[in-house]
Amino acid sequence: MKQETIKRIRRTVILCAAAMAIGGGIGLIQLGLEGKNNGTGLMEVAGADIGGPFTLVNQDGKTVTEKDYAGKYKLIYFGFTYCPAICPTELQKIAQTMNIIGEKDAGLAEAVQPLFVSVDPERDTAKVMREYVKLFHPRLVGLTGTMEQIEQVKKDYRIYAAKVKSETADDYTVDHSSFIYLMSPDDRLLGIYRAADSAETVAADLMRAAGK
């Protein structure tokens, strides 16, 4: 790892962990789904109004919309590249989910699109996202955009995210809710996963949803 990266991690790791504890709780309340986990990891989310059309920019700098991923199952996570505490763990979980499905049913894995959406578009340029997503999985797509584009997608997915100034520098971190969303090929919400849910759980739910 580059020295600069290590320094960056040291600066943000503690703040990010604290932020997640707060952000996660707030996120769940916003979603109105607290306490509805049915114990299998797949939450009772039928009818939850989450998601919608979006226009964002992928890691190659290309403008994309929800139509680019139409017909695919989607594993969506919102976070930011400067957060090394929770975001990498959850993105690794998505990568692991992809690998589990890939081993069991390569065709189904092809029909799953993992997406990482930045809640920090000021720092997470397409170039930054390109370098970041490839650390996790070759199929992981990084999405960023203008402040307005990101605000809209955050609203549609009921993502809480707020800048918090770091005490140590001109730096800032971002409090944000941390969920992996599983969306159907026609963009209905199938499941929401928290830190405690494993890749095995997500993969099993996805396979069940696909009738495998």
Binding residues vs Ni ion (CB under 5 A) = 79, 83, 86-87
Could you tell me the smallest distance in angstroms from the CB atom of residue 113 to Ni ion? 21
Could you tell me the smallest distance in angstroms from the CB atom of residue 21 to Ni ion? 11
CB closer to Ni ion, 162 vs 207: 162
| Burial label, 9 (beta-carbon count in 10 A; 0-12, 13-18, 19+) | middle
User: What angle in degrees, to the nearest 10, is found between the helix axes of 87-104 and 199-209?
Assistant: 50
CB closer to Ni ion, 56 vs 86: 86
CB closer to Ni ion, 87 vs 115: 87
Do β-strands 161-165 and 172-176 pair in parallel, antiparallel, or remain unpaired? antiparallel
CB closer to Ni ion, 111 vs 164: 164
Could you tell me the smallest distance in angstroms from the CB atom of residue 178 to Ni ion? 6
The string of DSSP codes covering 124-167 is --HHHHHHHHTTT-TTPEEEE--HHHHHHHHHHTT--EEEEE-S
Please tell me the number of Cα atoms within 13 Å of 161 on its side-chain side.
26
CB closer to Ni ion, 120 vs 205: 120
Could you tell me the smallest distance in angstroms from the CB atom of residue 87 to Ni ion? 4
Question: Within 10 A of 100 (CB to CB), how many other CB atoms are there?
Answer: 19
| Radius of gyration in angstroms for the set of CA atoms belonging to the chain, rounded to a whole number | 16
Q: Which residue is nearest to Ni ion (CB)?
A: 83
Could you tell me the smallest distance in angstroms from the CB atom of residue 124 to Ni ion? 12
